[in-house]
Amino acid sequence: MKKTNLKNSIILITGGTGSWGKELVKQLLEKEHPKEIRIYSRGEQEQVKMKREFQNKTLSFYIGNIRDKNRLMLALINTDYVFHLAALKHVPVCEENPWEAVKTNIIGTQNLIECSLENNVKKVIYISTDKAVDPLNLYGVTKAASEKLIIAANLKRVMTDFVCIRGGNVTGTKGSVIPLFKEQIQRLNEITLTDKTMTRFFMNLNDAIKLVLKAAKDSIGGEIFVMKTSALKIIDLADIMIKKLGNKNTKINTIGIRPGEKLFEILISKYEAERTYNMGKYFIILPQIKLEKTHKYYKKKKLSKITYEEYNSNNVPQLKKQKIEMFLKSEGWLKNNMQTDALKYLKSLDKKNLRQFFKSEGWTNK
């Protein structure tokens, strides 16, 4: 087994200007001390903002699209490790532009695999999502296909190892319900719920990236690492936020489930549970395909299989309201002056446009 040593290495992060990418860069700089971190993404303005924010010579920036194989090939020269975060992630955008989602999320991932093999990259770490499990929308379908591509890449029997890391919702990132609830309460004095029985996994970004780095180091290729995380009822989250940020007139409007949305999230399907093992801070799913090195390595460890028939946000212990409140408080979400990229955008909208934004996102039907 080749040891993953990020110190003094050259690391490339696709989609590195997003919230996950920024936190990953922060922890890499603080704990791993790589020689160079290459940020590969499409957005010029986001790269400029990130460069100004970090002011660190270890970072270098590459404008490029993962659809562009030639550009990827150049960016990957002498690269040791790749963290693959780039994707079209917005569910409605993927539904309305299906071929674009396929080109970015599936073909782009295959481009990265082929370029990594040709450049003798040591390890590729692919960040996946709960949406890839029993997918209900096109975004989930493309992520599920990408997981299959990443795992099958280990069949090439070359020096590059490929591994998946699957996570659930992370608080405060773009698309997270918490900043949306906060703006709805403070600007519209209401919260919209799609269904009062809905549950979700939740964890903060700092902890998610810690697990990404741990799994990146522990992996040997061919595995899917699944983050262990807390779950909660969305109605409990709404109640706490109304209690702390709203008033007696704050309303909850139930609008019905949105297209492509599930009542609960699944991180390990019933079809995967039989080959899933408990690794302490995370679970590991062994591949269906025959990867002799991977199966042999984990067989020696004599790990315990999970007891869940399916690992979803409904069948794990739910956070009590007191714990949810403590979590929100510790993350700063109960402060009026809380600022994140998601909140900055929402706060830039006047009341009319804010309501229109919520309507376009399916968060309100008025």
Q: Where are the domains of the chain?
A: 10-168+205-228+267-301
What is the fold of 10-168+205-228+267-301? Rossmann fold (3.40.50)
What is the arithmetic mean of pLDDT over 298-319? Answer: 93
Q: How confident is the model at residue 354 (pLDDT cuts 50, 70, 90)?
A: low
**Lowest-confidence pick of 112-121, 161-170, 185-194, 343-352:** 343-352
Site of tokens 């990132």:
173
Label residue 124 by pLDDT band (50, 70, 90). Answer: very high
What per-residue confidence (pLDDT) applies to 260? Answer: 79
* pTM as predicted: 0.90
Tokens of 164: 């998946």
- Please tell me the predicted confidence (pLDDT) of residue 366: 60
Question: Up-side HSE of residue 188: CA atoms within 13 Å toward CB?
Answer: 27
Candidate list 89, 123, 131, 182, residue with the active-site label: 131
> pLDDT tens-digit profile of 127-149?
999 999 999 999 999 999 999 99
Distance (Å, rounded) from C-alpha 295 to C-alpha 305?
Answer: 14
The pLDDT value recorded for residue 257 is 86
131 annotated active-site: yes
What is the pLDDT of the chain when averaged over all its residues? 91
Question: What angle, 0 to 180 degrees and rounded to 10, lies between the N-to-C axes of helices 108-118 and 138-152?
Answer: 20
Task: Compute φ and ψ for 88, nearest 5 degrees.
Answer: -85, 120
Q: What is the pLDDT of residue 337?
A: 63
Tens-place pLDDT, residues 232-255: 999 999 999 999 999 999 999 998
- Model confidence pLDDT, tens digit, residues 17-52: 999 999 999 999 999 999 999 999 999 999 999 999
Higher pLDDT, 174 or 76: 76
Contacts 24+ apart (CB under 8 A), 298-307: 298/223, 303/277, 303/278, 303/279, 304/277, 304/278, 305/273, 305/274, 305/276, 305/277, 305/278, 306/268, 306/273, 306/276, 306/277, 306/278
- What's the pLDDT band for 321 if we cut at 50, 70, 90? very high
Residue type (1 letter), 313: S
Give the Cα separation of 153 and 151 in Å (integer). 5
pLDDT of 341 higher than 80: no
Find the range with the poorest average confidence among 28-32, 76-80, 139-143, 262-266: 262-266
Distance CA 54, CA 26 (A): 8
What confidence score (pLDDT) does residue 346 get?
63
**Is 207 a residue whose pLDDT tops 80?**
yes
**What's the CA gap between 303 and 330, in Å, rounded?**
34
d(CA 321, CA 316): 16
In whole angstroms, what is the distance from residue 173 CA to residue 207 CA? 13
pLDDT tens digits for 209-229? Answer: 999 999 999 999 999 999 998
Q: What is the pLDDT of residue 170?
A: 85
The pLDDT value recorded for residue 2 is: 66
Over range 177-193, report the average pLDDT. 90
Which among 240, 193, 226 has a CA at the least distance from the CA of 316? 226
What is the rounded CA–CA span in Å between residue 316 and residue 229? 9
pLDDT confidence of residue 317: 87
pLDDT score for 246? 93
Predicted confidence (pLDDT) at residue 85 exceeds the cutoff of 70: yes
DSSP letters spanning 111-179: HHHHHHHHTT-SEEEEEEEGGGSS--SHHHHHHHHHHHHHHHGGGG-SS-EEEEEEE--BTTSTT-HHH
Q: Tell whether the model's pLDDT for residue 343 goes beyond 60.
A: no
pLDDT value for 157: 78
